[in-house]
A and B are shown apart, each in its own frame.
Chain A
Amino acid sequence: MRGRRTALELGAPVALVVGAALLGVLVSRSTEIYFINALVSVSMVVAIYVFVGNSGVLSFGHISFVAIGVWTAGVLSVPEQEKPAFMPYLFDFLRDTTVGNVSSLLAAGLVGGLFALLVGLPLMRLSGLAAGIATFAVLEITNNILRYYEKVGPGLNTFSSVSETTDLRQAAIGAVAVIVAAFAYQRSRFGRQLRATREDPAAARAVGVSVYRQRLGAFALSGFLAGLAGGLYVHFLPINVDAVYLDLTFITLAMLVIGGATSLWGAVVGALAVSALDSVLANAENGLELVGRTVEVPAGTRIVVVSALMALVLILRPSGLTGGREFSVDPLWRRLRPS
């Protein structure tokens, strides 16, 4: 019985992701990119969930790990002869190194994780508002340096001529890998200790849990996964530094909160639901055929709707669409009963 429940808690999010990927195979080429985008978003949101969901500490800084992943995979993937064209000031070893698709993704994860570990060493001592503002400061600093320091990347230029290897298959494999890692972590003793500190820091300390160490571990793991997601992102679209800044921070946090920040199921549902809505609205901005009539909404409607929805969910259902619970087939009345 318990084994079946565990299998469902992992199986349901994975099935949802695979289902979305299969649906993406059926649709036209031009619609496919919305599905790939949704799957990449799943990777990012689950990566953020590993830290924010399990620790209960707010982080505005995770998109900086995504950005580090984008820079790592991007710089390492551009063919050597193309690099001088838009990255003329690169360090020598970056200029002379080009690696394959999978290696670039792993490198993106490793650099992202290492950066998160270094940043986390001092920062994980903070909590509450101070932690929120400090992670925001990390985002600002990372963005500022990537924007102007042209020895490590293209600066303000767009990452062009990165091999576009993130198709539906790679996006789905990436998302499933991130989900499995997140699940394995939250079932491990480290994940359980961190969740204990989320529920009651004082009680967790009293039974010998080091809040600092558990948070640091989760921060580094979640930095690794976010870096990986960044690698997937740069292999999907030609992007620049503005694509991995405030707007992405907002939309990924919105996905996590709308789905329900305290469960893996919530992170996946939120990412897919908001992506679906976002894609429909994006289509509508270009004119959408709906029961024989063309519906057209002005450009920019997407963020208006998504942010209004986010505020609404927060006011009416602060624990998110899934209530912050894992997937379960138990009837609702049994789940609501106090255990």
Chain B
Amino acid sequence: MSTFLASGLTDVLSDAVDLQVQVDAIGLGAIFALMAVGIGLVFGVLRLVNFAYGQLIMAGAFALAFASDRGWPVGVGIALCFAVVIVLSLAMERVVFRPLRSQSPAVMLIATFAVAFLLQSIALLWFGPLGKTVTSLADLNRPVTIGDVDIRKIAIVAIVSAAVSLGLLVLLLNRTSLGLHMRAAAMDFQTARLVGVRANRVSAAAVLIAGVLAAIVAVLLTVQFPTVTPTFALRETIIVLAGVVVGGMTRLLSATLGGFAIGYVSGLLGGALPTAQSQYLPTFVFGLVILVLLFRPGGLFLRGRAAVERV
């Protein structure tokens, strides 16, 4: 076991300087960071961990596959993807999240668990276990040569679109009255309502923004993994959820950093480890998650101790 670990570690170190692996890892981290923002934003306002976030992405990916099957132009496919994801997330907010707003976090987590399985099994009924393939975006997977390294276009697209969307989100949160309301609700929902923040509007806005981010992630992920099955984005969501909790759920910035970090680390380990060891990648990543939770249960990127939860 120790030789196994040691050889794995040296491999990682020697490959860590490999620019191609680095860019891919940052690209994956960027996608995971977008998902982390989507999950963290809804958690901030509603105190709800949305386990069904991955199924929103899955639905968007199926919309892309549907359009690609019909031979529709890429733009139409992407528009369809956005429409499906946004309608679905608003429906989820209205039917499930809103009635459960006063329940404990555990009840809400289990409810979103149920929604996740519901959407996944509907997709299974509809499209079958083998899924569909998205071909319309395939040429984004080709590399461009910069200097003497090959970098896949999608890595660049992912990093740029993550940076742009996060920048726009920061502007929205800091420069608009809606953003102010959302920040107030995230700090203290009850008091925010007392001073005139409209609860339903704020929670719908948070879910809407999270939906837009999910649609972006759906486009980016289908380029990397063109075969869309009912379990599409499930693994990624589980990993991002862990990353968000590890980073610190109560602040959007720390949650985003947590998502980015876990994406970057898995991208780096996945790119550097040989297959014989990379099959144990989940064990490494989740072992790391447990370790961090034990030493910093409030979050890796948060200062001070998290307050003891009292109902």
How far is it, in angstroms, between the C-alpha of A298 and the C-alpha of B96 when the chains are bound? 26
Task: Assess whether B290 is in contact with A138, with CB atoms less than 8 Å apart.
Answer: yes
Q: Which of B115, B234, B290, B308 contacts A123 (CB 8 A)?
A: B290
B104 to chain A, nearest CB (A): 8
- Stretch from B119-127, B161-169, B263-271 at the A interface: B119-127
**Given A298-B125, A307-B121, A311-B118, residue A130 in contact with residue B293 (CB < 8 A):** yes
- CA A180 – CA B96 in complex, angstroms? 37
Distance from B142 Cβ to chain A, minimum over Cβ atoms (Å): 32
B interface residues (Cβ-Cβ under 8 A, vs A) = 49, 96, 99-100, 103, 105-107, 109-111, 113-115, 117-118, 120-122, 124-125, 234, 238, 241-242, 245-246, 249, 279-280, 282-283, 286-287, 289-290, 293-294, 297, 308-310
**Contact across chains for B294 and A122 when beta carbons are under 8 A apart:** yes
Of the listed stretches A15-23, A82-90, A110-118, A140-148, name the one at the interface; the rest are far from the partner chain. A140-148
**A304 touching B309 in the complex, CB below 8 Å, given contacts A129-B245, A138-B290, A141-B283:** no
The answer to whether B286 touches A141, judged by C-beta atoms less than 8 angstroms apart, is: yes
| Distance from A48 Cβ to chain B, minimum over Cβ atoms (Å) | 12
CA A127 – CA B294 in complex, angstroms? 11
Residues of A near B283 (CB, < 8 A) are 140-141, 144-145
A106 at the interface (CB under 8 A from B): no
Indicate if the CB atoms of B105 and A133 lie closer than 8 Å. Answer: no
A-B contact pairs, 25 of them (CB 8 A): A127-B309, A129-B49, A129-B245, A130-B293, A132-B49, A137-B289, A138-B286, A138-B290, A140-B286, A141-B286, A143-B282, A144-B279, A144-B280, A145-B280, A201-B308, A202-B310, A246-B234, A298-B125, A299-B125, A300-B121, A303-B118, A303-B121, A308-B114, A318-B100, A318-B103
Closest residue on chain B to residue A132 by CB atoms: B109
Query: In the complex, A314 Cα to B107 Cα: how many Å?
Result: 7
Asked if A301 CB lies within 8 Å of chain B CBs, one says yes
Known: A129-B49, A140-B238, A314-B107. A253 touches B113 (CB 8 A): yes
Binding site for B on A (CB under 8 A): 56, 58, 122-123, 125-130, 132-134, 136-138, 140-141, 143-145, 148, 201-202, 246, 250, 253-254, 257, 298-301, 303-304, 307-308, 310-311, 314-315, 318
Given contacts A58-B110, A141-B282, 15 further A-B contacts (CB under 8 A): A132-B49, A133-B241, A133-B242, A137-B242, A137-B287, A137-B289, A138-B290, A140-B282, A143-B282, A250-B113, A253-B113, A304-B122, A307-B121, A314-B107, A314-B114
Contact between A132 and B238, CB atoms less than 8 A apart: no
How far, in Å, is B112 (CB) from chain A's closest CB? Answer: 9
Q: Which of A126, A145, A303, A318 contacts B294 (CB 8 A)?
A: A126
Which of B105, B124, B279 has a CB less than 8 Å from the CB of A148?
A: B279
A126, closest chain B residue (CB): B297
In the bound complex, how far is the Cα of B238 from the Cα of A115, in angstroms?
Answer: 23
Q: Quick one: given A130-B245, A141-B287, are A307 and B103 in contact (CB under 8 Å)?
A: no
Contact B309–A128 (Cβ < 8 Å) = yes
* Complex interface: chain A residues within 8 A of B113 (CB): 250, 253
CB pair B289–A58 under 8 Å, yes or no, is no
A146 CB → nearest B CB, Å: 11
Q: Is the CB of B293 within 8 A of A301?
A: no
Are B114's CB and A311's CB within 8 A? yes
Chain A residues near B287 (CB, 8 Å)? 137, 141
> Given contacts A129-B105, A257-B110, A303-B121, are A134 and B289 in contact (CB under 8 A)?
yes
Interface centre among A126, A140, A257, A304 (most CB of B within 10 A): A140
Contact A314 B110 (CB under 8 A): yes
Find out whether the CB atom of A58 lies under 8 angstroms from the CB atom of B121: no
Residues from chain B with a CB closer than 8 A to the CB of A132 are: 49, 106, 109
Which residue of chain A lies nearest to B113 when distances are taken between CB atoms in the complex? A250
Chain A residues, CB < 8 A from B99 = 315
The docked-state distance in angstroms from the alpha carbon of A301 to that of B115 is 15
Contact A126 B110 (CB under 8 A): no
Cα A89 to Cα B85 in complex, Å, equals 46
Taking each of A123, A137, A202, which has the highest tally of chain B beta carbons within 10 Å of its own beta carbon? A137
**Distance to closest chain B CB from A179 (angstroms):** 23
Report B9 CB to chain A, min CB distance, Å.
19
- Chain B nearest CB from A50 CB (Å) reads 17
Inter-chain contacts of B120 with A (CB < 8 A)? 303
Minimal Cβ-Cβ distance residue in B for A202: B310
Q: Given A140-B238, A304-B118, check contact A130 B111 (CB 8 Å).
A: no
- Nearest residue (CB) in A for B47 is A129
When the two chains form their complex, are residues B242 and A307 in contact, meaning their CB atoms are under 8 A apart?
no
A319 to chain B, nearest CB (A): 9
Given A253-B113, A304-B121, residue A137 in contact with residue B294 (CB < 8 A)? no
Cα distance A127–B289 when bound, in Å? 15
Q: A140-B238, A311-B118 are in contact. Are A134 and B110 (CB under 8 A)?
A: no
Q: Which of B114, B242, B245 has the most CB of A within 10 A?
A: B114
Contacts of B125 in A (CB 8 A): 298-301, 304
A307 touches B282 (CB 8 A): no
Tell me if A307 and B117 are in contact (CB < 8 A). yes
The answer to whether B289 and A250 touch across the interface, beta carbons within 8 angstroms, is no
The 4 closest A-B pairs by CB, nearest first: A303-B121, A137-B286, A307-B118, A310-B114
A250 contacts which chain B residues (CB < 8 A)?
A: 113-114, 117
- Residues on the B chain within 8 Å of A145, using CB: 280, 283
Select which of B115, B246, B279 is within 8 A of A311 by beta carbon: B115
B8 CB, min distance to chain A CBs, angstroms? 14
A133 → chain B closest CB, angstroms: 4
B122 / chain A contacts, CB cutoff of 8 Å: 304
> Bound complex: CA of A254 vs CA of B115, how far in Å?
12
Task: Report the minimum CB–CB distance from A247 to chain B (whole Å).
Answer: 8
Complex CA–CA separation, A22 to B120 (angstroms): 36
Instruction: Tell me the smallest distance from the CB of A278 to a CB of chain B, in Å.
Output: 13
Q: With the chains together, A17 CA to B23 CA distance in Å?
A: 58
Cα distance A48–B279 when bound, in Å?
29
